[in-house]
Structure 1
Amino acid sequence: MANLHVRSNSLPSKSHPIVNDVEDHLCRLRSSEGTSTSSASVTANLAILKDLHEGSLGLVDLCGFTRDILNLTKGSVQDLQSSIRRNRGETATADDINAYMTSRKKINKMVNKFIKNFKTFDKNPTAFSNEDSDLKAIVTMLKETEAFDVSVLKSVLILVSGERGSSKKRSWSLLSKFSRTSRVHSEVEQERCAEYLCSFDLQKSGKDLQIVLKQLKASEMGIQELEEELEAFFRSLVKTRVSLLNALNH
């Protein structure tokens, strides 16, 4: 994992402002309780709420998986750093580098499998009757928020997995929109350390390994920043879910 430096605010860290809008609609919705008591209407509303709850649970799962991947990635970087330092920065064995590259491939495989099997959220709400305008507004806002949050989390996964190509470029672009600074490195810099290790001559001087150590340290710091952002996002996600569930149940 190469230079992966993402400054703060790359992930939403506060309770989503959409919650206030949702609660306003819920107040109006509760005030009109009893006006639509047909079996078909109640059944449809229950199905809609079930879909929303499943969506929020899916987001929690995705966020948890992303945290695990970041932890694995940081671990592989730290292991290689430790191995080089144990040898006083003078040499690195083929086993050390192979273990690092194998870990990257394993992480990439895990990410690809998870994303492939992850259920995509349907942003198009179910058909509503005219009397359900507030419920429709709630569902529409929540589904749009879920879809956007999923895009951000998938961008993090694509970046740390080492995937190349257009997906990575789109991921950098999306995360850059959340950063208040321009210190988001390009995908070329992201892969520099891995490519350097692949072509590295193990018999070269310690000076070359110092370059690797510097790049690995930058990667570790970048991953740490992403972990902190993701932890804040996860807490916000859980808090928002609890708030919405409480609002719906009262």
Structure 2
Amino acid sequence: MDSISKKSFHTRSNSLPLRPHPVVDDVDEHLCRLKASAATSSSSSLSQKLGKVQDLHDSIDNLLLLPLTHQALVDNDSVDDLLEGSLELVDLCSMAKDVLSQMKECTHELQFVLRRRRGDDITNDVQKYLNSRKIMKKTIHKALKGMEKSSSKTSDESSDIVTLLKQAEAITYSTIESLLSFMAGPKSASKASRWSMVSKLMQPKRVACKEEGSNTNL
């Protein structure tokens, strides 16, 4: 009798829904946070979203170490799609990093010129900066056009793990796209707006000149 009751209890316990692994919950929580902030696109919000993407992928690293993840990937036909998507993300991140580094270098060079050549004609230097930025914008827009890809479809038979990984891929693509769009700015900026941007770079110089002038008067 005891053996029968134990067997029936064991059968009932197996029928209960399994509780998700804490790492799975962690990944899902990071995804929810990113989805909630998807509509914002200011520089500060983008910085926050990039931090959240980093946290998401840190959690995914932990998720990929779990045996249940290995089993889910083995039993699913979407592994090749996930790998291809990951490689594309690596290429995009590398390109975004290179462009951002070039933009930073060009900006620093122009600021250096603005500080050193007080009163001199800096038109050629400014034009050089604008031309460099124009080339980088073309590179970004070309990359954005290449990102117009259909998101990976998740079939009803996909496991929860695979679904999470595909959602993470999609939200990462979206965040990088927002970053590149912000870096590129409007696709067809007027000449006045381009010089307005240069004028903003000159603000620190003007403040410094005013401070020097006031110190001289003292």
TM-score class, shorter-chain normalisation, is 0.5 to 0.7
Counterpart for residue 183 of structure 2: 160
Q: Summarize the alignment of residues 225-244 of structure 1 with structure 2, pairs less than 5 Å apart.
A: none
DSSP-derived class of the 2:98 partner: helix
Counterpart for residue 113 of structure 1: 142
Determine whether 1:91 maps to 2:133.
no
Deviations along 1:94-122, one digit per CA (max 9) or x if unpaired, are 21111111112111100111111236352
Determine whether 1:76 maps to 2:106.
yes
Counterpart for residue 63 of structure 1: 93
Shift of residue 152, structure 1, vs aligned partner: 0.9
Q: Summarize the alignment of residues 1-250 of structure 1 with structure 2, pairs less than 5 Å apart.
A: 6=44, 9-11=48-50, 12=52, 13-14=54-55, 15-18=57-60, 23=66, 25-26=68-69, 29=72, 45=76, 47-87=77-117, 89-118=118-147, 120=149, 122-126=151-155, 128=157, 136-163=159-186, 194-196=194-196, 210-211=202-203, 213=205
Q: Summarize the Cα distance change of 1:49–1:83 in structure 2 as closer, same or farther, 3 Å threshold.
A: same
Q: Return the alpha-carbon distance in structure 2 between the equivalents of residues 16 and 210 of structure 1.
A: 40
Q: Return the alpha-carbon distance in structure 2 between the equivalents of residues 67 and 125 of structure 1.
A: 30
Normalised by the length of structure 1, the TM-score is 0.52
Counterpart contact for 1:121–1:143, Cα < 8 Å: no
Shift of residue 154, structure 1, vs aligned partner: 1.2
Which structure exhibits the higher relative contact order, with contacts defined as CA atoms closer than 8 Å and separated by 6 or more residues?
1
Q: Summarize the Cα distance change of 1:56–1:138 in structure 2 as closer, same or farther, 3 Å threshold.
A: same
Shift of residue 140, structure 1, vs aligned partner: 1.1
Q: Which structure features the higher share of helix residues? A: 2
Q: Which amino acid aligns with 1:66?
A: A
Q: Return the alpha-carbon distance in structure 1 between the equivalents of residues 203 and 193 of structure 2.
A: 9
Q: Which amino acid aligns with 1:142?
A: L
In structure 1, stretches of 5+ residues that fail to align are 34-41, 129-134, 166-191, 201-207, 216-250
Normalised by the length of structure 2, the TM-score is 0.59
Q: Return the alpha-carbon distance in structure 1 between the equivalents of residues 111 and 155 of structure 2.
A: 52
Counterpart contact for 2:110–2:129, Cα < 8 Å: yes
Pairwise CA RMSD of aligned residues? 3.6
In structure 2, stretches of 5+ residues that fail to align are 1-41, 208-218
Higher Cα radius of gyration: 2
Q: Return the alpha-carbon distance in structure 2 between the equivalents of residues 123 and 195 of structure 1.
A: 42
Aligned length: 159
Residue identity over aligned pairs, in percent, reads: 27
